[in-house]
C-alpha cells in the first residue's frame, strides 16, 4: 500500500490525483481495497453534479446548486456523532456512508466542483478544514452544508479553538497544495492509530506522512481535521 501511495504522490503537485492518493491511503484500513470502483463512483457523482448545474447563471447560483446536490440530494454530511471514527477519513467509506470530517468532505466537494468546472481549493484552516471558491473568494464550510463564512466567522472559529486574537493571520485562509492536503489526512489517521496503539498501521501512516511532507512547509502537520 505504501508503494502505491508513493507512486501517486512523489510527483509534481499539479499531477497528483488527489482522490486516488486518498484511496491509496485508505488501504491502511482496507489492504485489499480496489481504487477503480470508488473513483468511478466519484466520477458518476461528478457527472450528475454537472447536469444539476447546467444552465446556472451567476456564481452564487452555481454554488447554491452544487451545495444542494452534494448535501441535500446526495446527503453528504459531517459525522458529529462519531467524529473520530477513522472511517470518516477513508475516502471509500466517506463515499459509501456519505459521512465525513471537514477535510474528507472537502475532497469530495472539490472533485464535484471540478466536474462542474467550478474551481474550489482546499483551505488548511486550523482544526476545521474549509474550501474557497476561487472565482468569488468565498470561504465555504462543507462540514456544515457548504455554509458561506465571512472573515469575522473565521476569526471567531479561530478563537473558539483556544487561539489568541493576536495569533490570527490571513494566511490561515490560504489554499493548500495537494501534498499538504494528504499530509493533513495522514496526520488525522496517525492520531487515531496512536491513541489505539496500533503500531503497524501507525508506522505505515508515518511513512505516508513523510512522503507527503517532502514539499510541505513547517507547521502543516499540526493542523488537523
Q: What is the pLDDT of residue 34?
A: 98
Strand partners, 9: none
Q: Cell for 185?
A: 489526512
Q: What is the pLDDT of residue 215?
A: 57
Q: What is the pLDDT of residue 214?
A: 80
Q: CB within 8 A of 15, min separation 6: which ones?
A: none
Q: Cell for 58?
A: 451567476
Q: What is the pLDDT of residue 119?
A: 96
Q: Running DSSP on this structure, what letter comes out for residue 143?
A: G
Question: How far is 111 from 118, CA to CA, in rounded Å?
Answer: 9
- With vertex at residue 39, the alpha carbon angle to CA 56 and CA 121, rounded to the nearest 5 degrees, is 50
Question: How far is 77 from 131, CA to CA, in rounded Å?
Answer: 15
Q: What is the pLDDT of residue 10?
A: 95
Q: What is the pLDDT of residue 224?
A: 63
> String of b and e for 29-53 (b: at least 16 CB within 10 Å)?
beeebebeebbeebeebbeebbebb
- pLDDT per residue as tens digits for the range 64-81: 999 999 999 999 999 999
Question: How far is 52 from 67, CA to CA, in rounded Å?
Answer: 11
- 133, 140 in Cβ contact below 8 A? yes
Q: CB within 8 A of 50, min separation 6: which ones?
A: 115, 116, 117
Q: What is the pLDDT of residue 204?
A: 96
Q: What is the pLDDT of residue 47?
A: 98
Per-residue pLDDT of the chain (225 residues; tens, 9 = 90+): 799 999 999 999 999 999 999 999 999 999 999 999 999 999 999 999 999 999 998 999 999 999 999 999 999 999 999 999 999 999 999 999 999 999 999 999 999 999 999 999 999 999 999 999 999 999 999 999 999 999 999 999 999 989 998 999 999 999 999 999 999 999 999 999 999 999 999 999 999 999 999 855 554 444 567
Global confidence as pTM? 0.94
Q: Cell for 69?
A: 446536490
Task: Give me the long-range contacts of 32-41 (CB less than 8 A, separation at least 24).
Answer: 33/92, 38/91, 38/92, 38/95, 41/95
Strand partners, 133: 120
* CA nearest to 221, candidates 210, 128, 162, 3: 210
Q: What is the pLDDT of residue 98?
A: 98
Amino acid at each position: 500500500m505504501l508503494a502505491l501511495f508513493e507512486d501517486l504522490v512523489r510527483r509534481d503537485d499539479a499531477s497528483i490525483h488527489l482522490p486516488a492518493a486518498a484511496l491509496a491511503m485508505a488501504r491502511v484500513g482496507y489492504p485489499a481495497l480496489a481504487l477503480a470502483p470508488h473513483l468511478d463512483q466519484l466520477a458518476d457523482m461528478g457527472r450528475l453534479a454537472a447536469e444539476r448545474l447546467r444552465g446556472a447563471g451567476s456564481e452564487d447560483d452555481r454554488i447554491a446548486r452544487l451545495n444542494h446536490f452534494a448535501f441535500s440530494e446526495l446527503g453528504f454530511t459531517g459525522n458529529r456523532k462519531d467524529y473520530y471514527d477513522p472511517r470518516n477519513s477513508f475516502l471509500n467509506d466517506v463515499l459509501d456512508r456519505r459521512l465525513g470530517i471537514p477535510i474528507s468532505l472537502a475532497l469530495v466537494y472539490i472533485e464535484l466542483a471540478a466536474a462542474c468546472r467550478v474551481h474550489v481549493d482546499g483551505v488548511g484552516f486550523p482544526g476545521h478544514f474549509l474550501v474557497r471558491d476561487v472565482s468569488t473568494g468565498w470561504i465555504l464550510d462543507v462540514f456544515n452544508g457548504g455554509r458561506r463564512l465571512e472573515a469575522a466567522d473565521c476569526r471567531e472559529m479561530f478563537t473558539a479553538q483556544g487561539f489568541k486574537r493576536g495569533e490570527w493571520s490571513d494566511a490561515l485562509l490560504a489554499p493548500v497544495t495537494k501534498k499538504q492536503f494528504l499530509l493533513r489526512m495522514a496526520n488525522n489517521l496517525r492520531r487515531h492509530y496512536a491513541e489505539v496503539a496500533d503500531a503497524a498501521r501507525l508506522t505505515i501512516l508515518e511513512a505516508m506522512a513523510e512522503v507527503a511532507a517532502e514539499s510541505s512547509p513547517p507547521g502543516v502537520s499540526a493542523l488537523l481535521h
